[in-house]
């Protein structure tokens, strides 16, 4: 049941949120260790160590969930499809940019040359 829920979340873009949670938990642990090192009172240090220990299972759970999701064949297909879509979008953006530059060059060429004015017409009829 949990893996199905995680897979469903993965379909709608869990990667960013999941990675943010991991980063935030790691940052909290880092700051907790820094505060622990600065603290002089042994009883407060002991309490801080208990808090640090309490946070670690959350981080482990995030890593375990990540590993479980990544190993699912459906997720592998999802990643492959997502990568192909991103490559296709990148190629389309590249072509659009190249075409835009070509049209800009052509437009600039047309504007800078071949202007016709009746005053310049020296033909006799």
pTM of the model: 0.49
Interval 52-61 mean pLDDT: 91
| Residue 27 pLDDT > 80 | yes
The tokens describing 42, both together, are: 């042994």
Q: What are the extents of the domains in the chain?
A: 1-76
Please tell me the distance from the alpha carbon of residue 25 to that of residue 58, in angstroms, as a whole number: 8
Query: What is the tens place of the pLDDT at every residue in 2-17?
Result: 777 777 766 666 677 7
Inter-residue contact 14 to 6 (CB < 8 Å): yes
The tokens describing 22, both together, are: 């991991």
**What stretch of H or E contains 14?**
helix 14-38
Please tell me the distance from the alpha carbon of residue 21 to that of residue 7, in angstroms, as a whole number: 17
Q: Is the pLDDT higher at 2 or at 112? A: 2
Percent of the chain past pLDDT 90, that is, above it, reads 26
Q: Is the pLDDT higher at 98 or at 61? A: 61
Which pLDDT score is estimated for 34?
A: 96
Residues 6 or more apart whose Cβ sits within 8 Å of residue 70:
76
pLDDT confidence bin for 125, thresholds 50/70/90: very low
């Amino acid at each position: 049941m949990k893996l199905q829920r995680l897979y469903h979340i993965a379909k709608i873009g869990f990667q960013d949120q999941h990675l943010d949670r991991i980063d935030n938990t790691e940052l909290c642990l880092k700051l907790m260790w820094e505060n622990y090192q600065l603290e002089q009172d042994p009883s407060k240090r002991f309490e801080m160590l208990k808090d640090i220990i309490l946070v670690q299972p959350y981080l482990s759970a995030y890593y375990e969930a990540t590993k479980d999701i990544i190993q699912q064949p459906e997720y592998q297909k999802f990643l492959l499809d997502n990568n192909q879509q991103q490559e296709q979008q990148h190629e389309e953006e590249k072509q659009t940019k190249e075409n835009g530059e070509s049209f800009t060059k052509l437009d600039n060429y047309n504007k800078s040359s071949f202007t016709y004015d009746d005053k310049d017409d020296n033909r006799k009829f």
